[in-house]
Amino acid sequence: MEKKIERIVLCIKPVKTDLLFQNSNADGEAFSMNPYELKALENLIKLKRNGEERFCLTCICMGDKKAKSILRRALSMGADEGILISDSIFAGSDTVATTYILQKAVEKLGNVKMIVCGVKTIDGETGQVPLGLCERLGFPFLVNGNEILKVKDTSVIYKYRNEKETKIMESKLPAVMKYRDFKMDLPIISLAAIKKGKKKEILLFDSKNMEIDPKRCGIKGSKTKVIEIKNKYNKKEKRKLEGNIQEMVEIIINLLGEGEEKKEGDFG
């Protein structure tokens, strides 16, 4: 029997479009792909197009029905499968609950050799999901990559870059990758690609078909709760200056001078 083609799962976080683009138009979707995942998606599609790599690129997206358009887009761009994880009881999930839900989704899919998540999302989540997911799934490898160079049967070759150096690394699979590069501009998808993407189906995973314990997801399963939201910056007593450039310049020079005199302080 032929071996089933293994999956690479890309977890896409829907983020509010107006966070990405200041002048988003009224016709645009309310949600867009997180820029890190967008870059990862392009990377993986390019690998597939080059032809050598054999894997099934599965995009999963958690959110309400609005997130569907993101998956549609991913399919138009060239992903193979789109999974929408959506259920009313998932609302309000924090990272602990989210990683549990994603774990169940990955287990339902099966045959997954790598999971790729953006290192962070533009709306402030700080990349806890890939770690928690890796811990829960018991995947042996957790890697940081800026670019995936090659996906082999049992390993992945990728590029890692930080402020100091660039490394080419190889990690065994299965692994979870935190993808560290991002792309802000929207790729243009041709009309033909939309038509092609349309032929692929988006599957819906909900609490029932994933066999989710309702106590472990949504607000019930979350460990953190936002209790108050406010605009909390202490407004200072301020001096407002208008018009007189010379006066402004003098103040700046004085303040800059003060900074000079005081030696670089220690912790005091």
Partner 1 sequence: MDDNRIKEILVVCDRSTEINRHMMEIIYKAKTIAMESGHLVSVLYTGNKNKDIVKGFSQCGADILISGTSPNKIGMWQFSDLVTRWIKKRKPQLVLFQSTEFGKDIAAIISARFEAGLTADCMDIFYDITNGFRFMRAAICDSVIAQIHCINCTMNIGTVKEGVFEICKLDRTWKMEMIPFSVEEDNTYERETCLHMSKEEQIKKEINMKEYSTVFCIGRGASSPECVEGIFALAKKYNACVVGTRPVIEEGIIEKERQVGQSGKSISPKLYIGFGVFGASQHLVGIRNAKKIIAINHDPKAPIFDYADYSMVADVKDILDKL
Partner 2 sequence: MDFSYSQEQKEYRKEIINFAKENLNDENCLEQYEPKMWEKTADFGLFGLTIGEEYGGLGESYQTAAYVYESLGYACKNNGFIFVINNHVWVSQNIIYLYGSKELKDKYIENMVAGKKIGAIGITEANAGSDALSMGTTAKKEGDHYILNGSKMFISNGPIADIFLVFAVTKESPKKITAFVVEREFEGVKTGTNIEKMGLHACPTSELFLHNVHVPKENIVGRVDCGSTILMQALEWERCYEFAPHVGVMQRIMEECIKHGKTRQQFGKPIGDYQSISHKIANMKTAIEMSRLMLYKIAWLKDRNRTAYTEASIFKTYVSEKYIKTCQDAVQIFGAYGYTKEYGLERELRDALASSIYSGTNEMQKNTIYEMVKMMVI
From the list 38-46, 83-91, 162-170, 188-196, the region that binds partner 1 by CB under 8 A is 162-170
| Lookup result for tokens 């799934």 | 137
Ranges within 45-84 binding partner 2 (CB under 8 A): 69, 72, 76
- The count of residues interacting with partner 2 (CB under 8 A) is 19
For partner 1, the closer of residues 150 and 196 by Cβ is: 150
Q: How far is the CB of 59 from partner 2 (least distance, A)?
A: 16
Neighbours of 70 (CB within 10 A): 25
| Cα→Cα distances 117→45, 46, 131, 213, Å | 15, 17, 10, 24
- At a CB cut-off of 8 Å and minimum separation 6, what does 70 contact? 12, 14, 29, 31, 32, 33, 61
For partner 2, the closer of residues 54 and 195 by Cβ is: 195
* Residue 203 in contact with partner 2, rule: CB under 8 A: no
Q: Judged by CB under 8 A, which of 101, 134, 148, 217 binds partner 1?
A: 134
- Token duo for residue 158: 């990728």
Q: Pattern of binders to partner 1 over 78-107, x per CB under 8 A?
A: ----------------xxx--x--------
For partner 2, the closer of residues 191 and 227 by Cβ is: 191
**C-alpha–C-alpha distance, residues 114 and 142, integer Å:** 10
* Residue 39 in contact with partner 1, rule: CB under 8 A: no
* Residue 131 in contact with partner 2, rule: CB under 8 A: no
* Residue 195 in contact with partner 2, rule: CB under 8 A: yes
CA 66 to chain centroid, in Å, comes to 17
**C-alpha–C-alpha distance, residues 180 and 162, integer Å:** 9
Buried b (16+ CB within 10 A) or exposed e, 32-47: bbbbbbbbbbebbbeb
Q: Pattern of binders to partner 1 over 209-248, x per CB under 8 A?
A: -----------xxxxxxxxxxxxxxxxxxxxxxxx-xx-x
**C-alpha–C-alpha distance, residues 82 and 46, integer Å:** 18
**C-alpha–C-alpha distance, residues 13 and 36, integer Å:** 9
From the list 19-27, 104-112, 123-131, 141-149, the region that binds partner 2 by CB under 8 A is 19-27
What does the binding site for partner 2 look like in residue numbers (CB under 8 A)? 25-29, 69, 72, 76, 185-186, 188-195, 198
